[in-house]
Amino acid sequence: MDSLLLARLQFATTGSIHFLFVAVTLGLVTLLVYLQTAWFVSRKPIYEQLTRFWGTLYVINYVLGIASGIVMEFQFGLNWSGLSRYVGNVFGVPVAIETLAAFFLESTFLGMWIFGWHRLRRGVHLALLWGVAITAYASAFWIMVANSWLQNPVGYEVRDGVAHLTDFSALVGNRTLIFALPHVLGAALMVGGFLMAGVSAWHLISRTADFAVFRTSLRIGLVAGTFGAVFTSGFGFAQYPAVGPVQPTKFNADTPEAAALVDQWTAQFGPGDYHAPEWLVTPLELMTTLGLVLGLGVFLLPLFYRNWIIRLRLPLYLILLVTPLPFVAAIAGWLVREIGRYPWAVYGLLPTADAMSPVGQPTLLASYLGLTSLLGALAVANWVLLVRHAARGVGDLALGRAPERPPSEPSDDASESVFAVEER
């Protein structure tokens, strides 16, 4: 196994695992905003319980997701210094903005929200969660801006062998971003919604005492997950007309445009295989099929009438069964987007081999095994903690628990009366 393949496998592994953390984070924070807003407006205790319950799971995933992101950034700097050297002046701009949004604003808002229960006014506390959600979406936007530039480099010029940003508006108005961003956001909502529906279905199957709470979260999760599946499928199909002209070798390898482009690249970079791998059609079809299947959840929504979705029980098992499928669809979509531009790190501009760091095979193998093991451990820890806290239900939640008042000390008058009694 050569060094380039090892570096690509390492990026694929770290990117896939981190992307699952991100999808859960974006999906759950959207649902959390709805839950706490509903609690603020209606003042119903059931929404407070749901906010605290799902907020706990969100915080667990967020913390471990940050750790997985640090691992991913480490391997990025270790293996792909050629990318930073050649296009860092352009690619680094949205990445730097995303870092400020995610690691400073978002984490600050989240920390204040976690420790602000019973200490801040309800409106201020809700505003903090809205701040978490807005900065999370801003973070996703800037990451997609950076990724879209790798797919379709625009607004730059090469001077002295280095790419420089010349048109910021072209960067944020990239045509590969317009449909890709809502596609990704819809996928995150699909993941978060079906995760909520799956956990709720498990509790209802187990006949826990929190029937009303998890019936409510089942309805919210199923509606959000189904809407997310329909939304992401729609914008997925809408990407074909946008991607085809800028990446003709991705889906239309036999067109005259693709042939002309391959001839141009052969003259500029030398002979090679400039078409996307043929097996790319497998994750593409898998992603498309799963999106359509999950969208069929809309036919379960009428069963909430008179609680038939719970009385029949079969729908609950179906929901529990399909809970992992949004995660599979998300990974398949990520593979289609990233592998579809192979063999380019920056499509038509920087070959993957030139973007790689001058790192030897033994070092790459050691880092691949070490970082993959670390990310695997984070993923397993995340899953174990989520399952453990999800199984507890809403009965004993640390997040949002009212602080215990310390026992009041006896007053000076009381102490004097005790001593007086003893003297008597």
Q: Is the pLDDT of residue 303 over 90?
A: yes
* 212 lies in some domain: yes
Write down the pLDDT at residue 414. Answer: 39
Distance (Å, rounded) from C-alpha 219 to C-alpha 138?
A: 28
* 409 lies in some domain: no
**Selection from 93, 51, 71 nearest residue 11 by Cα:** 71
* 408 lies in some domain: no
Please tell me the total number of residues recorded for the chain in this structure.
Answer: 424
**Selection from 195, 204, 180, 158 nearest residue 317 by Cα:** 204
Q: Is the pLDDT of residue 419 over 50?
A: no
* 232 lies in some domain: yes
Q: Is the pLDDT of residue 413 over 60?
A: no
How many CB atoms sit inside 10 A of residue 20's CB? 20
The distance from CA 298 to its chain's CA centroid, rounded to whole angstroms, is 23
What's the structural domain count of the chain? 1
Greater pLDDT, 160 or 424: 160
CB within 8 Å of 38: residues ≥ 6 apart: 44, 47
* 18 lies in some domain: yes
- Residue 270's SS3 state is coil
- Render pLDDT for 149-189 as a digit per residue (tens, 0 to 9): 999 999 999 999 899 999 999 999 999 999 999 999 999 99
Q: Is the pLDDT of residue 410 over 50?
A: no
* 326 lies in some domain: yes
The answer to pTM > 0.85 is yes
DSSP one-letter string for 19-37:
HHHHHHHHHHHHHHHHHHH
* 335 lies in some domain: yes
* 141 lies in some domain: yes
User: Could you list the residue range(s) of the whole structural domain that residue 349 is in?
Assistant: 3-403
